[in-house]
Amino acid sequence: MKNQTQVHYELSPLKLWSPLHRQLSACVQTKSNPQQWIGTIRNLQKKGVSAVEIEWSTIISKLEDSPAAPVHLDELLHFLTDKPPCELVLQRRITDEYAPQVRYEKQQRPTKLPPFVIRRGQRETRLLHYRDRTFGLCIWLHVECDPGLFGRNRYWSFSVPRGRKKIGAHSTVQRFASAHDAMAYGRAVVARMARRLGAQGFIGQSRSLNRWTRFALPGGEYYTEWLITAPNLSADYWGEHFELSNIVAHVRTTERVTPQGARMLVLEEIQSDWNQALRKAIQEARERHLEDAEDRDLIELDDDMDPPPDNPYLNNWLDAALRMMLLLAANQGYAGIAWLPGTLHAERFPWANAEGLKAFYDRIVPAAVEKLAKSWGARLDAAQFSTLSRHFRVRKLADKPIWQVLSLDSRKVVGEDFATYAAAEAFRRSLEDSVIERVTALYLSDEMRDDISDKGLPYLGAVGTRRAT
């Protein structure tokens, strides 16, 4: 029996692959002298291999320092697989506390409707709308047969199959205004079960441990902070957000369901502390050395600047992050990926550069996703999901541990003072209205999802034309 949970970083089995290694392993020649190999490797750029990967692999330097004797292909492949500096891994901070996931699947509408029944004096038909595969939780759609003043009344209910004693007692007479509300109730029932089992020492499915939950848009499920790291780089960079080195990019995600039932992986935020700091240092150096401003290689960073170490993803971190998220979405069966608009980020981070955030999320990110989607002939589309309005915000008093809820319209404090952020945020959400958020999205066809899952994606270089089978 285990009384205290352990916290650590989990390595995902999902990985992007090396185009240099893949293209070199496909070469017909198996043995050549170093100069011939150098020519062969440089020519691989015509097949989509990135010059950045070739440079950072240091394979050219290795061959230049080799004697004139022939070098076997296996030696080169072994060199490339021994801690490749451009390799990326996907990680998240987790605890082994038992926190089972509930994933509802939309059920097909039956060809023949079931007979109506009498409930609370009303004739209605009940249809199984969503069902969870793990626990068998059921979300039922009730449609009253007799139209009222505003048409036929619709509501949802929740039930658990008989024999599931561990789940415990729950109210069976509740009516929910939406399927989403009924799903949330079902997840709360399972969460109560997990707490009971956890108190008994039960250790089960790993749970993502997150630091920045308060910056997630309300209404999402399974909020996760994904860390994309380069563990084999000789550099040792530590960012300001996470206690893990060499994070090339971090992506905060939630799961959301569209009104059509599509399960989407929503990118709440995409950021690179490392490359943002590196770009800032390079820009400052250019301003100091205007005569060499057009050539990055000629710029010498002064001793007093203390810039972060260089890395292969200065100009490629966004593409790498999007490829990793696309691989994650394909392997976890999501209908697609979506991201939040720049105006929402500007509202969320009022201290940041609003125009810069809008340019990044409304222009740069869509352009990068669209370029990636062209490999399968796919196009960007739109998605919608339910969330809360943003008429209020929580603020902390500067000199006291007190949180208040502020109306953005009147600029006045609403309600009482709160001792914790969580209490103030719960009150703020109670004041907000339910709204529909419209975002840009990339939907994955079944063929595209299978192609990505089976063949993967490169971490650098061109994706190329992909023919989904």
Share of the chain above pLDDT 90, in %: 53
Cα–Cα distance for residue pair 13/419, rounded to 1 Å: 42
Q: Are 157 and 142 in contact (CB under 8 A)?
A: yes
CA atoms within 13 A on the CB side of 379: 2
Is residue 279 predicted with pLDDT exceeding 80? Answer: yes
Which residues on adjacent β-strands are paired with residue 31?
Answer: 72
Q: Are 406 and 431 in contact (CB under 8 A)?
A: no
How are beta strands 154-159 and 138-144 bridged, if at all? antiparallel
Cα–Cα distance for residue pair 328/208, rounded to 1 Å: 15
Is residue 288 predicted with pLDDT exceeding 50? Answer: yes
Cα–Cα distance for residue pair 365/385, rounded to 1 Å: 20
CA atoms within 13 A on the CB side of 445: 12
What is the mean pLDDT of the segment spanning 17-42?
94
Cα–Cα distance for residue pair 469/458, rounded to 1 Å: 19
The reported pLDDT for the residue numbered 327 is 97
The reported pLDDT for the residue numbered 194 is 82
Residue written as token pair 């995600």: 253
The amino acid that residue 438 corresponds to is: R
Cα–Cα distance for residue pair 105/128, rounded to 1 Å: 11
Q: Which residues, at least 6 apart from 154, have a Cβ–Cβ distance to it below 8 Å?
A: 141, 142, 143, 144
What are the C-alpha distances in Å from 247 to residues 320, 383, 397?
A: 12, 30, 33
The reported pLDDT for the residue numbered 193 is 85
The reported pLDDT for the residue numbered 50 is 96
Q: Which residues, at least 6 apart from 105, have a Cβ–Cβ distance to it below 8 Å?
A: 130, 131, 132, 133
Break the chain into its structural domains and give their ranges. Answer: 19-83, 92-96+206-272+313-390+432-455, 104-201
The more confidently predicted of residues 299 and 267 is 267
Q: What is the pLDDT of residues 309-350, one digit of tens each?
A: 999 999 999 999 999 999 999 999 999 999 999 999 998 888
What's the mean per-residue pLDDT of the chain? 87
Burial of 315 (0-12, 13-18, 19+ CB in 10 A): exposed
Is residue 469 predicted with pLDDT exceeding 60? Answer: no
The more confidently predicted of residues 303 and 459 is 459
The reported pLDDT for the residue numbered 286 is 76
The reported pLDDT for the residue numbered 197 is 78
Q: Of 32, 86, 87, which Cα lies nearest the Cα of 63?
A: 32
Q: What is the pLDDT of residues 385-417, one digit of tens each?
A: 999 999 999 999 988 889 999 999 999 999 999
Q: What is the pLDDT of residues 123-171, one digit of tens each?
A: 888 899 898 888 889 999 998 887 766 667 889 999 988 776 677 777 7
What secondary structure, in 3-state letters, does the chain show? CCCCCCEEEEECCCCCECHHHHHHHCCCCCEECHHHHHHHHHHHHHHCCCHHHHHHHCHHHHHHCCCCCCEEHHHHHHHHHCCCCCCCEEEEEEEEECCCCCCEEECCCCCCCCCCEEECCEEEEEEEEEEECCCCCEEEEEEECCCECCECCEEEEEECCCCCHHHCCCCCCCCECCHHHHHHHHHHHHHHHHHHHHHCCCEEEEEECCCCHHHCCCCCEEEEEEEEECCCCCCCCECCCCCCECEEEEEEEEEEECCCCCEEEEEEEEECHHHHHHHHHHHHHHHHCHHHCCCHHHCCCCCCCCCCCCCCCCCCHHHHHHHHHHHHHHHCCCCEEEECCHHHHHHHCCCCCHHHHHHHHHHHHHHHHHHHHHHHCCCCEEEEEEEECCCEEEEECCCCCCEEEEECCCCCEEEEEECCHHHHHHHHHHHCCEEEEEEEEEECCHHHHHHHHHHCCECCCCCCCCCCC
Which two three-digit tokens encode residue 143?
A: 């449609």
What are the C-alpha distances in Å from 158 to residues 52, 102, 172, 182, 244?
A: 54, 14, 7, 6, 41
Is residue 419 predicted with pLDDT exceeding 80? Answer: yes
Cα–chain-centroid distance for residue 134? Answer: 23
